[in-house]
Each structure stands twice: as C-alpha cells, then as structure tokens.
C-alpha cells in the first residue's frame, strides 16, 4: 500500500503542471493559504486525493522550471510526512473510492455472468438467473454447510460449480478464476445485511 | 457400508412406506384407522425423522368431499429450446405427455399453460406443437410471454389460433385469457425483436413493462362475460397470476383489479395460471386462484407478497433436476370450484382442495413443508 502511495506521489510530481481546482476538504500545515477561492496560485493535490497544497510563489497554469519543480516536490514530501505523522487512519478517501469502485465493478461483472450461459461455459442455453432470479435461493449466508450429495461440508464455490456442471452442463471454474470471484461478489451482494447462518438448510 | 441388520430394516421400512402410500390413495373414512395404524408402523420402523408428508394429518386431507363432475389435466411452462441445444426440457415435456396419457380414466382435456417455447422461435413452437400432438385427449392452448415477444404472437397464432377464446364444457364456462401483454418499452430503445424477447424472457429484468390484459383484452372479456349467466361457473386460464403477487418478477397482472370487478358478480370463479412455476393458492372474494407447475424448472418463491393461503412447496433439491417440477390435474365440482392436484415428479402429490379455499384455510389444510423457502 505504502509503495503504491509513493508511486502516486511521484507521478503527481511529474505532472506538476496539472492544476487542481476543486474545493479543499482538509488543510495541511502553514503552507496552505487561507485565501482560497479567488486565488490564482498553483494548487497541487497530495496523493491521498483530498489534501491540496497551494504554492505561494507559483501561479496556476504556470509551467515550473526544473529548479522550482524540485522545490515544490520537496514541500509536497514534507506536507505528506507531516500528514502521515498526524493521521490516525492509514486509509484515505482515495482508498475508499477505489474499494467501492472495484467492488461495484466486480458485482456488475458477476451480474452479467449470472445472466449469460455462454460466458460461463454453459452448453444447453440455461443461465443461473433462469432458476435464481435476483439470485434468489442461492443462500450464500448458509455456507459452508454439509451437502449430502457432495459428501462433505461444501462452500459457496462448490455449489456455484455444481450448478455450472449440472443444470448448465458446463465445466467447473478454478477457484481463483475471476469469473468465480465475480459470481460470488454478485451473489453475496444480494444478501447484504442478512445474518450469517452457516449450516442452515 | 451399513451392517446387514440395518439394511434389512431399511428395506422393510421402504416396503411399509410403499404400502402406506398405496393405502392412502384408496382411502375412505372406514380405512382411516387401518392406514393410521400402518403409518404408526412406518414410524416405529424408521431410523430417521420422517418427512412431514408421512404424517397422518395428510391422510385426513385425502378424504374426498364429494364426487367431482369431471377432471382435466394441465401441462405448463415447458420452455422448449430446439432439441439440439437442450434435451432436458424436451424430455421433461415428453414425460408430462406420457404421464397424462397414462391417466385412467383419461381427463376430459388438457390445458397447456403457456411458455411452450423458451425464446419464441418458430422451431421451438413447432417442436412444442409436435410434442403436445402426442396427447390422446384434446389440448387447449394458452400463450405465455416466452411464446409471444419475438414476433408478437404471429407464429403462435398461426399454429394455435386466437390468444383469447372461450368454450363451454359440462356446464362450466371456460375462458382462456391473454394476460401477458406489455406496454411498448422496445421502440424508444431501438430493440431488435430478439432483444425484446430476451428482455422479457429475463424474469429479473427491470426494463420491461408489467404484464396486463390490456384495454382490448378487457373489452373482449367484457363482451364474452355478457353472454354468460351469473350462476354459470367460470374457470379462467391465464398465464400470469390474475392478481398482484410480486412486481419485480412480473408475478403480476397490472390491471388485475379491473378484471376482478368484472368477475365479482359471478357465483363461482376459478383462475388457473402458469408463469410462476410453483405451488400457489389465493382467494379474493368469490375468486379462487391456483398456480401450475412447470415441467422445466421450479421458481423460488418471491421475497415478499406471497398470498396468505399459499402453503408453499418445499425448497427443491438442487441435486435432483426433476424436483419441484411436474404437471397436474384439476377436479371440477358441480359448483365450479376445484380440487387442484400438483403431481410433483420427485415428491408425493399435493392436493389443494376446494374445501381449503372455501373455509379460508381452516379445513383440508395441505401439508406444510419441512424446509420452507427463506
Ligand atoms: Fe414460464
Ligand atoms: Fe411466463
């Protein structure tokens, strides 16, 4: 995570000419100007995606000479270090956005697969939604549980694969197949807030 | 495996179980105690907790109230693809036809409950017609949304005739009512006929409109009912349930209330519908409603809106592809109300008796599932 942040920071410095114009939500140290809004000074955004840093001696839109760019980078690093020192949480708004976006993307992918027998390798025209509209009766909250016919305590993945192999006459997916993960994400998203009841039949 | 002693006990138990069910079929009140005794034997012989259906409670229900006037059978929701793509649904449809042909005495006719095809393709509909033509008794056809939305019923009408019609049989007025019209959602979206079909075929697709009989259909119904005396028993076949159960899945008819209004003045009205692929029971005033099973697959019960009178069927076993599917028969009584039999292929048959609906669920209660939907 930390490496990723640093990388973003470096990328941010390279693109220093980039001007952020949206309003600030958090302030950092003394470098931050009180007079926001009307200012035409250069504003750069830190890698948390929230904190903005105003550069007093540079104007918005100005392409910085190398010397000055290095100085700005130094100040950004300092602001970053200061922020890190104060910060309680390791995670930033950008992290949160990323989590939400990725979760949504995978759920949507799962929704598509759930409604598309070809994409799941089915062979007889039957897709999951035909028997499980809105993923009804998939009961992810009840897994793992013993399935007599499988002769063991089975996971949700086992049941997904069972339904791919049997009603859909397809080939089971490897457990780390992105399609399996997407299906799981979609199925469990439909039972959000339902109490866990592993073992329920 | 199991010790021989247990195996023998298991065999004995199975034999007694068979005998018990045979006896149940032939039951009258005098035999009741005898069978109850036999069922007690089943209880002592068993080594596991029995499914609910073994209990004597069900036996009481099996006792007929009065001899019905006549019987018809139903087959519904076969959802046929072409045989090359999917044999499972074809085989299930053939199985239902075989079962109905084996009924002795034969039913007066068979109602087909709609969704003959999966995607309304001419070849699917033709295959369906061919399979149903093996029935030894006449078939009355009803259309489902899967038959309709590729070409808006063109091929279906060519094969089977008009989508709304009525006929009289032994004093009962039967009406087949097209209830799966939808307001145009496709033109503004520039959909191809196949896109329209696929949208409607997806139960949980929120883009489509809600099912309705529609203005023309209601007008047709009004004219048809005008010819019938208010004492004549009426049985209506519709594909969607003619009431409001669960909107997101179109277990629903948008103009249901307007249709009920037309039916309230009649003495006895029964609606038998397809589409929901599950055991369903409902009553609104004088109107009794019954669902039909699908031969292809069962649908889970909707998360809300289940009519209070419905005793749901047990959740199907995912390891048995025939479970929760089947066909059935309907015994019509003199007053027009019916005993509805669900002949589940992998379960004991379930009857929802006229007496159950007439008593608002107090008498002749169908067996409750051990593992209900959740
Ligand atoms: Fe159907
Ligand atoms: Fe349907």
Among B9-23, B45-59, B117-131, the minimum mean pLDDT is found in: B45-59
Q: How far is the CA of B76 from the centre of ligand 2 (A)?
A: 9
Domain ranges in chain A are 39-90, 93-189
Are the C-beta atoms of A50 and A94 separated by less than 8 Å?
yes
Q: How far is the CA of B294 from the centre of ligand 1 (A)?
A: 7
Set of chain A residues whose Cβ sits within 8 Å of the Cβ of B374 = 139
- Give the integer Cα–Cα distance in Å for A21 and B25: 81
Set of chain B residues whose Cβ sits within 8 Å of the Cβ of A139 = 374
A81 touches chain B (CB under 8 A): no
Ligand nearest to the backbone CA of B292: 1
- Give the integer Cα–Cα distance in Å for B54 and B40: 10
**Cβ-defined contact of A159 to B318 (cutoff 8 Å):** yes
Tell me which architecture the domain covering A93-189 has in CATH: Orthogonal Bundle (1.10)
A172 touches chain B (CB under 8 A): no
Which of A124, A162, A201 minimises the CB distance to B85?
A124
For range B1-23, the mean pLDDT: 56
Which of A125, A129, A163 minimises the CB distance to B318?
A163
Nearest CA in chain A to B374: A137
Q: State the smallest CA–CA distance between residue B203 and chain A in angstroms.
A: 6
Set of chain B residues whose Cβ sits within 8 Å of the Cβ of A148 = 319
Q: State the smallest CA–CA distance between residue A38 and chain B in angstroms.
A: 46
Taking only the tens place, the pLDDT of each residue in B82-139 is 999 999 999 999 999 999 999 999 999 999 999 999 999 999 999 999 999 999 999 9
Taking only the tens place, the pLDDT of each residue in B209-231 is 999 999 999 999 999 999 999 99
Which of B337, B342, B362 shows the shortest CA–CA distance to B352? B342
Which of B324, B216, B228, B338 shows the shortest CA–CA distance to B283? B338
Confidence of residue A38 (pLDDT cuts 50, 70, 90): low
Which of B87, B204, B297 minimises the CB distance to A134?
B204
Taking only the tens place, the pLDDT of each residue in B295-320 is 999 999 999 999 999 999 999 999 99
Which of B331, B269, B290, B352 shows the shortest CA–CA distance to B68? B331
Confidence of residue B19 (pLDDT cuts 50, 70, 90): low
The DSSP secondary-structure symbol of B80 reads B
Cα–chain center distance at B104: 20
Cis before residue B105, ω within 30 degrees of 0? Answer: yes
Set of chain B residues whose Cβ sits within 8 Å of the Cβ of A125 = 81, 85-86, 118
Confidence of residue A46 (pLDDT cuts 50, 70, 90): confident
Q: How far is the CA of B297 from the centre of ligand 1 (A)?
A: 9
More confident residue, A83 or B156: B156
Taking only the tens place, the pLDDT of each residue in B162-188 is 999 999 999 999 999 999 999 999 999
Q: What percent of chain B has pLDDT over 70?
A: 83
Which of A129, A136, A166 minimises the CB distance to B303?
A136
**Cβ-defined contact of A137 to B373 (cutoff 8 Å):** yes
More confident residue, B353 or A82: B353
- Give the integer Cα–Cα distance in Å for B242 and A78: 71
Q: Is the pLDDT of residue B197 over 70?
A: yes
| The pLDDT of residue A63 | 84
Where residue B144 falls (left for φ over 0; alpha for ψ -120 to 50; beta otherwise) is: beta
Chain A contact probe: residue of B85, B119, B203, B294 with most A CBs at under 10 A:
B203
Strands B172-177 and B165-169: antiparallel
Nearest CA in chain B to A165: B319
**Cβ-defined contact of A137 to B202 (cutoff 8 Å):** no
For range B60-74, the mean pLDDT: 77
Set of chain A residues whose Cβ sits within 8 Å of the Cβ of B248 = 134
**Cβ-defined contact of B81 to A159 (cutoff 8 Å):** no
Q: Is the pLDDT of residue B45 over 50?
A: no
B298 touches chain A (CB under 8 A): yes
B373 touches chain A (CB under 8 A): yes
Confidence of residue A34 (pLDDT cuts 50, 70, 90): very low
For range A64-90, the mean pLDDT: 84
Q: Is the pLDDT of residue B21 over 70?
A: no
Q: Is the pLDDT of residue B17 over 60?
A: no
Domain ranges in chain B are 2-62, 70-358
- Give the integer Cα–Cα distance in Å for B103 and B124: 27
**Cβ-defined contact of A139 to B374 (cutoff 8 Å):** yes
Q: How far is the CA of A143 from the centre of ligand 1 (A)?
A: 29
Set of chain B residues whose Cβ sits within 8 Å of the Cβ of A167 = 297, 321
Nearest 5 degrees, angle CA B299-CA B75-CA B279? Answer: 35
Confidence of residue B24 (pLDDT cuts 50, 70, 90): low
- Give the integer Cα–Cα distance in Å for A118 and B205: 18
**Cβ-defined contact of B299 to A131 (cutoff 8 Å):** yes
Confidence of residue A81 (pLDDT cuts 50, 70, 90): confident
**What does pLDDT average to over chain B?**
89
For range B30-56, the mean pLDDT: 43
| The pLDDT of residue B36 | 47
Q: Is the pLDDT of residue B42 over 90?
A: no
Taking only the tens place, the pLDDT of each residue in A126-162 is 999 999 999 999 999 999 999 998 999 999 999 999 9
B300 touches chain A (CB under 8 A): yes
**Cβ-defined contact of B248 to A115 (cutoff 8 Å):** no
B70-358, CATH topology level: Purple Acid Phosphatase; chain A, domain 2 (3.60.21)
For range B72-84, the mean pLDDT: 98
| The pLDDT of residue B221 | 98
B248 touches chain A (CB under 8 A): yes
Confidence of residue A42 (pLDDT cuts 50, 70, 90): confident
Give residues with Cβ within 8 angstroms of B11, minimum separation 6. Answer: none
Q: Is the pLDDT of residue A73 over 90?
A: no
| The pLDDT of residue B69 | 97
Which of A115, A124, A149 minimises the CB distance to B319?
A149
For range B335-345, the mean pLDDT: 98
- CA distance from start to end of chain A: 41
| The pLDDT of residue A10 | 43
């Amino acid at each position: 995570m930390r490496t990723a942040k640093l990388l973003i920071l470096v990328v941010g410095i390279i693109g220093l000419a980039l001007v952020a114009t949206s309003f600030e939500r958090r302030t950092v140290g003394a470098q931050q100007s009180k007079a926001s809004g009307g200012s035409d000074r250069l504003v750069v955004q830190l890698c948390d995606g929230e904190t903005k840093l105003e550069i007093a001696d540079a104007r918005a839109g100005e392409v910085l000479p190398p010397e000055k760019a290095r100085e700005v980078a130094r100040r950004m690093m300092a602001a970053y270090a200061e922020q890190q020192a104060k910060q309680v949480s390791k995670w930033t708004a950008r992290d949160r956005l990323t989590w939400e976006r990725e979760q949504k993307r995978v759920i949507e992918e799962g929704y598509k697969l759930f409604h598309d027998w070809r994409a799941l390798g089915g062979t007889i025209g039957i897709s999951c939604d035909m028997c499980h509209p809105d993923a009804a009766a998939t009961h992810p909250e009840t897994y793992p549980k013993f399935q007599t016919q499988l002769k063991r305590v089975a996971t949700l993945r086992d049941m997904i694969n069972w339904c791919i192999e049997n009603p859909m006459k397809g080939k089971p997916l490897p457990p780390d197949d992105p399609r399996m993960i997407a299906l799981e994400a979609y199925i469990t998203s439909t039972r959000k807030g339902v109490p866990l009841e592993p073992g329920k039949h | 495996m199991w010790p021989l002693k247990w195996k023998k006990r298991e065999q004995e138990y199975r034999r007694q179980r068979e005998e018990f069910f045979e006896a149940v079929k032939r039951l009258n009140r005098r035999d009741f105690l005898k069978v109850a005794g036999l069922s007690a034997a089943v209880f002592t012989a068993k080594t596991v907790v029995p499914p609910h259906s073994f209990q004597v409670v069900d036996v009481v229900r099996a006792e007929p109230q009065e001899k019905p006037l006549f019987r018809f059978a139903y087959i519904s929701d076969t959802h046929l693809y072409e045989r090359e793509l999917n044999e499972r649904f074809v085989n299930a449809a053939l199985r239902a036809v075989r079962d109905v042909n084996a009924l002795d005495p034969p039913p007066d006719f068979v109602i087909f409950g709609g969704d003959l095809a999966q995607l309304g393709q001419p070849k699917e509909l033709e295959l369906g017609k061919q399979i149903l033509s093996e029935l030894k008794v006449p078939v009355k056809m009803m259309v489902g949304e899967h038959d309709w939305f590729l070409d808006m019923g063109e091929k279906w009408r060519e094969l089977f005739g008009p989508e709304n019609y009525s006929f009289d049989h032994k004093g009962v007025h039967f009406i087949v009512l097209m209830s799966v019209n939808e307001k145009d959602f496709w033109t503004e979206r520039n959909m191809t006929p196949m896109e329209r079909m696929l949208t409607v075929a997806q139960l949980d697709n929120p883009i489509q409109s809600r099912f309705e009989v529609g203005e023309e259909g209601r007008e047709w119904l009004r004219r048809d009912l005008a010819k019938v005396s208010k004492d004549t028993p009426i049985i209506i076949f519709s594909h969607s349930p003619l009431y409001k159960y669960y909107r997101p899945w179109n277990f629903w008819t948008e103009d249901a209330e307007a249709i009920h209004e037309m039916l309230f003045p009649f003495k006895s009205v029964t609606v038998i519908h397809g589409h929901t692929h599950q055991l369903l029971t409902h009553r609104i005033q004088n109107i009794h409603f019954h669902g039909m099973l699908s031969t292809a697959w069962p649908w889970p019960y909707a998360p809300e809106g289940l009519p209070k009178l419905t005793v749901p069927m047990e959740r199907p076993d995912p390891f048995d592809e025939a479970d929760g599917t089947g066909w059935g028969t309907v015994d019509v009584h003199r007053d027009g109300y019916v005993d509805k039999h669900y002949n589940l292929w992998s379960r004991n048959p379930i009857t929802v008796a006229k007496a159950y609906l007439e008593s608002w669920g107090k008498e002749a209660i169908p067996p409750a599932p051990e593992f209900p939907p959740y």
